[in-house]
Amino acid sequence: MRGLLPSQGGGGPTDGPPPGETLHGQVLEILAAHHDGIRVREIGNELGIDWRGLAPVMSGLVARGLADQIEQDFYPTAKASRKC
């Protein structure tokens, strides 16, 4: 059944994000706009999705060194600072 939907850029749903715009990419854009840190719930609100679905995305970004986490706040890599 491979190749049934080649005109849709890889067979994704037509109501999904434009080709090349992944959830990971969207999260990285949001992080870049929030140098003072942002919580996963706020990221979910900006994306219009349930924040609980972002847990594996956030863990993956941190594990790959694309985001930093301090307590409950996420930052673009190398932009994290402790608030005292």
Rounded Cα distance between 1 and 52, Å, is: 33
pLDDT of residue 65: 95
pLDDT in tens, 27-53: 999 999 999 999 999 999 999 999 999
- Whether pTM exceeds 0.95: no
- CB within 8 A of 59, min separation 6: which ones? none
Q: Which domains does the chain have, with CATH numbers?
A: 21-76 (1.10.10.10)
Say yes or no to pLDDT of 5 above 60.
no
Say yes or no to pLDDT of 78 above 90.
no
- With contact defined as beta carbons under 8 Å apart, do 52 and 43 qualify? no
| C-alpha closest to that of 81 among 38, 42, 44, 36 | 36
Rounded Cα distance between 12 and 30, Å, is: 23
pLDDT of residue 12: 44
